[in-house]
Amino acid sequence: AEAGCTDSPDTGVDWSGCRKRNLILSGYDFSGANMNKADLFASDMRETKMVGTDLTRATMTRVNISDSDLTNANLSKVDGGRMVLQNVQLTGSSFEKAELFRADFAGSNLTNADLNKTELGRANFNDSNLTGAQITFTNLARANFKDSTMVGTDLSRSWTYLTQFEGVDLSGVVNLSQEQLELSCGDSDTKLPAGLT
């Protein structure tokens, strides 16, 4: 493991458990890499390719990974408070049980992503694509979904206290309850599923 930590950034690199804090790692291809439990605190990882990368339990607090491709990446149980993930390809990625308080997903594609049981308080999903995403049993308090796409998005049992749905078409959202709506915020452009007010 110690030898792996000295390896250069590359596809398939094994940085599991390695300390890589405050580094400039932008522009690299980490596809298929093993970064399980890696400490990437505050590193610059913009414009990286991380297709299928294992980031389970990684420390990614304040990491900027904008404009990257994380298709089918595993970010389960990541500690990623204040992560910046703007304009990121996250199709099929898993964030299950991750800590992502105040994370910024603006403009990102989260089609079919797994966000179940995730901490997303005050997270920003402005103008993001959440088609088919699973967001169940999740804390969405004060999260912002303004102008996002939520077709087939499952919000079952998620906490929506002051969650912002301005300009969002919620008519295709799955398992949205009246109680969740009454806790959340919308505007005249917010569209609701049939039977809800």
- Provide the pLDDT for residue 2: 52
Query: CA 27, CA 143: separation in Å to the nearest integer?
Result: 29
Token match 């304009």: residue?
A: 87
**Sequence letter at residue 108:** S
Query: CA 152, CA 146: separation in Å to the nearest integer?
Result: 17
- Provide the pLDDT for residue 1: 43
Please, which residues have CB within 8 angstroms of residue 153's CB and are 6 or more apart in sequence?
130, 131, 132, 133, 135, 172, 173, 174
Helix, strand, or coil (residue 151): coil
- Provide the pLDDT for residue 3: 52
Query: CA 158, CA 164: separation in Å to the nearest integer?
Result: 14
- Averages of pLDDT over runs of 10 residues in the chain (197 residues) are 80 96 98 97 98 98 98 98 98 98 98 98 98 98 98 98 97 97 97 95
